Structure 1
Amino acid sequence: MKKTYFIIITVALWAMSCKKSELNIANPNQPTTQQFWQTANDAQLGVNAIYSTYHRAGLSRWMHFLTIIRADEGFSTSPAPWIRNYYDLFNYENYNDGLITSLWYDCYTGINRCNQVLDNVPAINMDNTQKQQLLGEAKFMRGLFYYTLALHYGNVPVILHVPKPSEYYPSTTPQDGVYAQAAQDFTDATTALPATYDASNKGRATKGAAYAMLGKVYMQQRKWQQAKDALQWLAEGPGASNYNLVANYRDNFIETTENNSESVFEFQNAANPIDAFDNDAGDGDPNHTPDKLNYGTSIPPFFAPRPIGFTDGQAFRWVVWEFLKESQTNGQRDPRVAATFLYDSTDVRGPNFTLVYGQTWTSRAYSNDLNDPIAVATNRTVYWRKFLDDATMNGEVFHSGNNYRYLRYADVLLLYAEALNALGQTTQAYTFVDKVRVRAGLKTLTAAMPGLSQQAFLTQLKHERITELSGEGHRWEDLIRWGDLSASLSSKDPAFVNFKTGKNEVLPIPQFDLDNNPNLKQNPGY
């Protein structure tokens, strides 16, 4: 009897649950895909969501370790051994560790948002000019995500539409194919994006940004003619009048001078006065609330010197010495030194005059930092400055509003010069290097080193790029493009003794994805 009674109740409850499941009431707080993609405003919000991907930790924080600390210009003395292992020592113990996977997942989150726009916006009844612009922005951003994946993971799946729940991701695409997709997206974006925006839309992808990224893709593939053709639009073509090197180099790294004439594309970071220790509040936290969004970057406290920050990433002294090889035409030191580093002589008069967040270098005793074994051995502690907020505050927060200038016009000019030189047009390349040097107060290369051979000019370009762009996240891609990544870099960065050619040029594919998608293949050597 008890058994029968139990079955009756169970069946009754099951029947009730079935009836409830048949209810189809839309939740106004969670619109479905079918409900959302209806208006021009929906299309705009969808594109805005793509840009917000850059506030996730993998892109706004850890990517800078991969591009700066993993390269030979930086190192880590972090008390967290996993940061040193993954970002400095090429020791990847766990292929599912968030320090390896976060950039991968953030890029694919962004790609999914791009694909939603590209799949749904074409059917919306709206102004066609606005529609094409929004689709161009989505293409640009998808190209940027694929460029990042190709650069750091090599062979990855290329997904061009929102997959259905029953679909596996496609099989692994070789790195060249991933770059090719990025190039196609950037090419499409060049025809759809405007050259400039009004003040209320600053920060959106422009035609110049699309041409610049197209040039970068071709540079990494050593397709010099295509790279030249793309970069020419900005360097000496129709877009050249839209850009100019700012007079004060440091204006490129200060929050109060964002989106200036040198900016080709920058990640827009808007500080929000929330809990300073809750970096993941907002886009990186699925449980966030609208009043607790974080649209800033958390890289400053990770690079800032103790006790302001954690000092998980630092600069090698050899990079400073590279700047000191030349002086300005007036005999003074290259001003880019003080903009790039905090060290004992950021102020040329020395440690008693060098201020670090309002206090002198001497009073903080950084040269004896026991957490920095290289400094202990050489008495030469150096910190990166470009991402810091010391110009506007005497501390750091996890939601810095200082924009990351991902593409500067100086970078474009030097890449254009490199492409010209690779094509045997070395004489023409001098002009574009000269522009960068003159802004720094140096003698033009035309006057200082006339008549360089093609190889000698490339060697000089390597110097120009480290002095102009060090600590900005371009060194890793430069080393790859030049074919300079090898264990021989251990003479500058001891961690490169662990570097294995044919393996460590890229990161391992996350094991989670390999387990879930039988179409994927792990990168060689892992």
Structure 2
Amino acid sequence: MMTQYKCYNPAPILATLLLLLLNSCANRLDINPTAELESEYFESELRVQEGVGACYAGFYNLYGPLLNDGGGSHQILLLPGDDITHQDAGRGAMEAFAGLNSANGEVNMLWTRLYQIIYRCNFMLEKLEEEPVKAIYRTVGLNDINKGEVLFLRAWAFHRLWDFFRKAPLQDTRIRTIADAILPPTQDFQMLDKAIEDLELAATLLPASSYWKAETERGRVFDESAYGLLVKCYTLRARYKKADAGDYQKAIVAFEKIKTRQLVHFAENFDYKHENNAESLFELQASHATDQDNAWLDNNFGGGAGQMGAMYHYSTSHWGNYVSGIYGPTKKLIAAYDGGDPRKEYTFAKFTTNVSGNTEVKAPAWDKFDGYQLMKYVYPGRCWFEKVWGISSTNNTRLIRYADIKLLAAEAYLQTGNAAAALVQVNDVRARARRSTEDGKMSASPANRTAITMQAIMNERFVELAAEEGIRWTDLRSWHAAGFIDLSSWTARDFGYNYDTANFEFQVPRHLLFPIPQREMNTNPLMVAAGNNPGYE
């Protein structure tokens, strides 16, 4: 079914925040306020839910079209790595690391949009602790549940900032003055540790998935969402601590608390008719603005005409991809699948999406990427786009799914000496792949493995999770840190880069992190004193 829970429009909350910024000038202005004041806004339990919804809504600015604001963050999340390439060799900063520096627009947008989510979360966490706000609740336990939701969302942003930038300042309280915003860079694992602390608390506050009403609230995070993200965070920290057994064991503890998730047909994870399914742990709740889903606006616009959808036309020939261009599978990814693996056609195929007509019908192949088009979220018959411009999709972006977590658990089991349990997780994923045929008949491929190695787990993550935003580049860099691979020895072809290798500029350690954005370097003297990330000074 299509998404049931859709985030509330955050415009009233954002208007309140704007008024707060102008509050110091209020005694000089002899005018009435043009929006509700913060002190008056949270008058009912529903209004608090709208505030929590504004925290979820920050994710639209990462995964939506935003055609007048540089596009979503797809380029920076998809192109680095070895699974996805661009049709245009000129998109070199993300794919070839050519000229990547602090002024890069993609870097600045990702940084800014993650901190926007954090600011909204800090605002709501403060409100949820205020006694007048607590007093308006009518649903027993909902205040704690709301805290759990907001802590989860903030932790998600923290762990992304740590992963991509490492020394980003830790903003864990509401910013009220300019001085409050001048924060020191974090050290070592400080921000990732904070994400884990938030998640451990969130897991105790969030309800079971069955708590949320399917008709109205489906898609809000639940206790197993927190455990899934904990697996990701503990595994990430373990890798950067040289395959630390203690953190791998903590990942296993979190994984074994996930009891209700199961693997569904592979294609259903990218199908608008099967959103928030049994494999899902966290999704962008893609929707449609009440009046018009305007792909040129951001989610903050309000008035029923902002954007609430997801953007996937980086995979298709639709004209709306003029910001992103077109992405496709690398030759390396094309060659990675076992013959007959059903996942291959649902990831990329030799037909295209009929974006100018009936999207239920397969269109002829094109001449790009050896004839293959990326298919996740745009597979004919499994995709949907709004009807005015045909740009935004209400097909949810799956941000954490159980197969990802099972393969991370396989790594944790193997690294703590339990190869048998690791083998079970990998073979579960491969068995699901065999069941995921279009006609329902069991495929013979991929066969179960009889033994397990770290290389086998890495290979499985490559084919299972290809073209899912932010996963592959995180895996490669952290496996390098753990010593499982050596990126310093990789050639342009190892990265799947098929253009002139003279344009490929990847360097270790420089490109293992993104640069701190120039705006932060210009405005934060504490960051200037610490210096940029290695290689970007």
TM range (shorter): 0.7 to 0.9
Residues 1:361 and 2:364 aligned together: yes
1:202/1:40 CA distance change after superposition, 3 Å: same
**Deviation digits for residues 241-292 of structure 1 (CA, Å, limit 9, x no counterpart):** x11111x21011011111111111111101348667x4242425xxx34120
What is the SS of the residue equivalent to 1:504? Answer: helix
SS of aligned partner of 2:373? strand
Distance 1:31 1:478, change over 3 A: same
Question: Does 2:293 correspond to 1:312?
Answer: no
Residue 269 of structure 2: which of 232, 252, 256 is its match? 252
Distance verdict in 2 for CA 1:491–1:181, change over 3 Å: same
1:437 alignment partner in structure 2: 430
Aligned residue among 4, 29, 45 for 1:40: 45
Give the CA deviation at 1:418: 0.7
Residue 73 of structure 2 aligns to a residue in which SS? helix
Aligned length: 462
Change in Cα spacing, 1:523 to 1:433, as seen in structure 2 (3 Å) is same
Secondary structure of 1:405's aligned partner: strand
Let me know the Cα RMSD of the aligned residues: 3.0
Instruction: Determine if contact 2:292/2:306 at 8 Å carries over to the other structure.
Output: no
Please state how far the C-alpha of 1:501 moved relative to its aligned partner: 0.5
Equivalent-residue separation in structure 1 for 2:47 and 2:359 (angstroms): 46
- Alpha carbons of 1:359 and 1:95: their partners in 2 closer, same or farther (altered >3 Å)? same
Question: 2 CA distance for matches of 1:198 and 1:486?
Answer: 50
TM-score (norm 1): 0.80
What is residue 295 of structure 1 aligned with on the other side? 308
Q: 1:149 to 1:307 in 2, by over 3 A?
A: same
Residue 219 of structure 1: CA displacement?
A: 0.8
CA distance in 2 between counterparts of 1:472 and 1:525 reads: 28
Match of 1:226 in 2: 247
Instruction: Give the Å deviation of 1:65.
Output: 2.2
Equivalent residue number for residue 160 of structure 1: 172
The answer on 1:321 being equivalent to 2:335 is yes
In the alignment, the residues of structure 1 paired with residue 196 and residue 226 of structure 2 have an alpha-carbon distance, to the nearest angstrom, of 9
Q: Match for residue 450 of structure 1?
A: 450
The C-alpha deviation readout for 1:60-90, integer Å capped at 9, x for no partner, is 76433223211111111248x4xx1332121
1:340 maps to what in 2? 347
Q: Which residue of 2 aligns with 1:63?
A: 73
Contact 1:183 1:217 (8 Å CA) reproduced: yes
Which sits farther off after the overlay, 420-429 or 51-60?
51-60
CA distance in 2, matches of 1:102, 1:227: 32
Aligned residue for 1:121?
A: 128
**Mapped partners of 1:218, 1:92: distance in 2:** 33
Residue pair 2:287, 2:308 contacting (<8 A) in 1 also: yes
Check the 8 A contact 1:159/1:170 in 2, yes or no.
Answer: yes
Shift of 1:343: 2.6
Counterpart CA distance in 1 for 2:363 and 2:306 is 35
Distance 1:436 1:289 in 2: 42
How far 1:301 moved relative to its partner? 1.6
Distance 1:449 1:100 in 2: 40
Which structure shows the bigger proportion of residues in helix conformation? 1
The code of the aligned residue for 1:337 comes to K
Distance, in Å, in 2 between the alignment partners of 1:20 and 1:202 is 41
Inter-CA distance 97–20: structure 2 relative to 1 (3 Å threshold): closer
Cα distance in 1 for partners of 2:289, 2:303 equals: 12
Match of 1:482 among 479, 487, 490: 479
Give the distance between the partners of 2:88 and 2:425, measured in 1 at CA.
Answer: 39
Report deviation, 1:463.
1.4
Partner of 1:330: none
Counterpart of 1:203, as a letter, is: G
Uncovered stretches (5+) of structure 2, i.e. residues with no partner: 1-24, 66-70, 239-243, 435-442
Change (3 A) 1:228 1:427: same
C-alpha change, 1:386 and 1:506, in structure 2 (3 Å) is same
Partner of 1:385: 375
Q: Measured at CA, do residues 114 and 224 of structure 1 come closer, stay the same or move farther in structure 2, by a change above 3 Å?
A: farther
- Asked whether the 8 Å contact 1:155–1:173 carries over to 2, the reply is yes
Give the CA deviation at 1:113.
0.4
Paired residue type of 1:477: T
The corresponding residue for 2:19 is: none
Q: 1:400 is aligned with what amino acid?
A: S
**Aligned equivalent of 1:10:** none
Matched residue, 1:149:
161
Residue 194 of structure 1 aligns to a residue in which SS?
Answer: coil
8 Å Cα contact 1:231-1:416 kept in structure 2: yes
What is aligned with 1:206? 222
- For 1:381 and 1:69, the matched residues in 2 are separated by 19
**Residue 443 and residue 31 in structure 1: after superposition, are their counterparts in 2 closer, same or farther (change >3 A)?**
same
Aligned partners of 1:263 and 1:409 also within 8 Å: yes
Deviation at 1:387, TM superposition (A): 2.8
Query: Match of 1:75?
Result: 85
**2: CA distance, partners of 1:108 / 1:434:** 39
Cα distance in 2 between the residues matched to 1:289 and 1:194: 30
| Conservation of the 8 A alpha-carbon contact between 1:215 and 1:228 | no
What per-residue deviation string (whole Å, max 9, x for no partner) do you get for residues 412-465 of structure 1?
Answer: 1111111000111112211111211111126799x854344xxxx111111111
Aligned counterparts of 2:124 and 2:330: Cα–Cα separation in 1: 43
Residue 58 to residue 434, structure 1, CA distance change in 2 (3 Å): closer
The superposition leaves residues 466-499 of structure 1 with CA deviations (integer Å, 9 ceiling, x where unpaired) of: 1211111211111122114445142232369411
Following the alignment from structure 2 to structure 1, what is the Cα–Cα distance between the partners of residues 219 and 104?
32
- Contact 1:68 1:471 (C-alpha < 8 Å) held by counterparts: yes
The superposition leaves residues 126-158 of structure 1 with CA deviations (integer Å, 9 ceiling, x where unpaired) of 356111111111110000001111111121000
1:342/1:383 contact within 8 Å kept: yes
Q: 1:297, 1:400 within 8 Å by CA — same for their partners in 2?
A: yes
* CA positional deviation for 1:403: 0.4
Answer whether contact 1:270 1:401 (CA < 8 A) is retained.
yes
Question: Structure 1 residue aligned with 2:407, among 414, 417, 423?
Answer: 414
CA distance in 1, matches of 2:101, 2:505: 17
SS at match of 1:406: strand
Name the stretch that deviates more: 501-510 or 32-41. Answer: 32-41
Name the SS of the counterpart of 2:510 in structure 1: coil
In structure 2, what residue type is equivalent to 1:450? T
Is the CA contact 1:212–1:231 (under 8 Å) kept in the aligned structure 2?
A: no
| Alignment correspondent of 1:460 | 456
1:14 aligned partner? none
Does the 8 Å CA contact 2:207/2:223 hold for their aligned counterparts? yes
How far is the alpha carbon of 1:335 from its aligned partner? 1.0
Instruction: Give the deviation of 1:385 after TM superposition.
Output: 1.1
Unpaired stretches in structure 1, ≥5 consecutive residues: 1-18, 328-332, 348-354, 370-374
Q: 2:141 aligned with 1:134, yes or no?
A: no
Give, in whole Å, the separation in 2 of the partners of 1:175 and 1:401.
Answer: 38
Distance in 2 separating the partners of 1:386 and 1:175: 35
Distance apart, 1:41 and its partner CA: 2.9
* Bigger radius of gyration: 1
Aligned partners of 2:158 and 2:316: how far apart in 1? 30
The reply on whether 1:399 has 2:392 as its aligned counterpart is yes
